[in-house]
Structure 1
């Protein structure tokens, strides 16, 4: 991380919020409802509680290692050789996440918006502004986040307001109709995407200009993002019902298509898609940015920006071969990816904390 890159705690909050919403707002409602049925929204709340506990844990690192991000902490705790191996693994995790997010966006546009456009062209069009944002640095794209976030809130409020007349409260009944273990089991997909992925944002700790406010800004950002996901899940069930929500790959887009006022205000789902495009963009930018920081630390490079263009070619190819189709991705995201995310988002951080504590005790 370059020393001259600084963001405020409030900017970190917004980046956390947008990362949390990211692609989750498109795919999570279906995975929650598939397991927990009408209680999917309760699973979302349970997942949020798990997520807040995770973030409370993640935000304990700045107090112990002030001014340092994830790669610096890893090398400090595990040493040069083992540390580099773990940083390399985190790079693979972050880079894979970036490829998956890019593919999510491409699949969404290809199947719902611009059906005749080749997937390859969509990926190229989306990658260009991502490369530009990363080359400009975190200060610049954090300011863009401040400008676009009000639009995200506005469009979300409009979506809620215009679809409220079609909400059927019988769709979420009976409340707590599923067993507790089913509701908790349903929450795991949301714990994996996005909460365990948030470990990557600890790489940006060294950019926050007021480290003492890191915990508060992180927790607030996750709570804001999770609120979007919980409300989205509730309204998707209310408007579409359990069966339709669980069957659709992108149920929130189907939900947006329900907007129809006096045969005048219709077909506004493309505008709503722009809302999701914004959150996907920032999640991709952050995941790609973190990837470049990690690989630059791995090879002791002073400036990660020189990697932005060459690594984008690899990301482009990786995104095209990441998975065969959307149906496969839903199964991958709820099962295989959860295992990966658990390793990097919980197992490694706990080891990092435990080994660091042990080494400190030995010194004393």
Structure 2
């Protein structure tokens, strides 16, 4: 595979889409009077810097993933815990998204079915996809995003031009732009850019690529995505009323109608897009996580869909699937929000540690 730039953008767009729908609106709206807008600016800046450092450093090791780079330069006592932490964090990220989506489906589409039944079905589908080879996962991501991104852009434009969109409510929030951002809102904003970490495994499939084109577009697109998913719910649901909703963007989509379309409510299209990108995001994060964790074992090799290479991935995905089902059965919606918020606050230091480690290794022992 030679189109590194294209597939790298796919991973970034996927992460921005899922986090902008799930985490950014709810957490930042809670912080809307306490520096949320400033966090969007700082989060874009910090996330873009980390992205540039990580990609620039990793591209000095063409055709190698993070496990191979760590094994070359670090002792077992350092690289194995680091890879286990990175892999576990990937599983947690995907698992929380899957549980969130299960709650949404259970509330809006199928309230009669117990959530753990839905979660069991979703885990099986996602786990099977995560056990495929990296090339298969990337091809799947390309297909899903080509179908989903135009629909999402249509929804954003429809929301911004909707007659119920109150820009006066947005102007009220603009008065709080220069308030200092809280740690929680800052970590959530930077998390929208964390898709660059998928290159830690996908770099294996791009042995001839040494550059990523158009990286300068990422901060522009990322900030625009964050800002639109923050102000649209406020403009649609009201400055104060927006705080009454748990799944903010689903409620926002419910309030938007399409007079001349064959579907009169945007929420149906929204949930269809949400279904596709949730499965895809969890599949990608679990694939990265299972590949990272399996590389900690002796005589491990990248997944090529053969029985011997798939088995470690299947075990790790199976164990995480069980943990996801149990967690989803025990947590309520408010509990899940608190867990997700806490996860965001501790994830940024992990990302910074990984980025700085790769940067130092690239300076010490670059491979051209």
User: What TM-score comes out, normalization by structure 1 length?
Assistant: 0.84
Q: 3-state DSSP class of the match of 2:146? A: helix
Write the distance in 1 (CA, Å) between the matches of 2:56 and 2:130: 27
Structure 2 counterpart of 1:249, from 246, 249, 260: 246
Write the distance in 2 (CA, Å) between the matches of 1:41 and 1:25: 17
Alignment size in residue pairs: 354
Contact 1:94 1:288 in 2 (8 A): yes
* 1:178 alignment counterpart: 176
Structure 1 unaligned blocks of 5 or more? none
Distance 1:209 1:68, change over 3 A: closer
* 1:169 alignment counterpart: 167
Structure 2 unaligned blocks of 5 or more? 304-308
**Could you tell me how far 1:32 is from its partner in structure 2?**
0.9
Matches for 1:323-334 after TM superposition, within 5 Å: 324-334=331-341
Per-residue CA deviation, residues 181-209 of structure 1 (Å, 9 max, x unaligned), is 43465641423533346434423222225
Contact 2:63 2:208 in 1 (8 A): no
Write the distance in 2 (CA, Å) between the matches of 1:185 and 1:210: 39
Contact 2:8 2:199 in 1 (8 A): no
* 1:191 alignment counterpart: 189
- Flag the structure with higher helix content: 1
Distance 1:16 1:123, change over 3 A: same
* 1:350 alignment counterpart: 356
Distance 1:205 1:107, change over 3 A: same
* 1:228 alignment counterpart: 225
Structure 2 counterpart of 1:274, from 272, 275, 292: 272
Write the distance in 1 (CA, Å) between the matches of 2:193 and 2:327: 21
Contact 1:38 1:173 in 2 (8 A): no
Distance 1:301 1:221, change over 3 A: farther
* 2:306 alignment counterpart: none
**Could you tell me how far 1:57 is from its partner in structure 2?**
1.3
**Could you tell me how far 1:283 is from its partner in structure 2?**
1.4
Write the distance in 1 (CA, Å) between the matches of 2:4 and 2:195: 22
Per-residue CA deviation, residues 74-121 of structure 1 (Å, 9 max, x unaligned), is 222322332112112222212222222221221221222211112222
RMSD (Å), alpha carbons = 3.0
**Could you tell me how far 1:248 is from its partner in structure 2?**
1.8
Moved more, 290-299 or 180-189: 180-189
**Could you tell me how far 1:343 is from its partner in structure 2?**
2.6
User: What TM-score comes out, normalization by structure 2 length?
Assistant: 0.84
Distance 1:227 1:173, change over 3 A: closer
Are 1:143 and 2:139 an aligned pair? yes
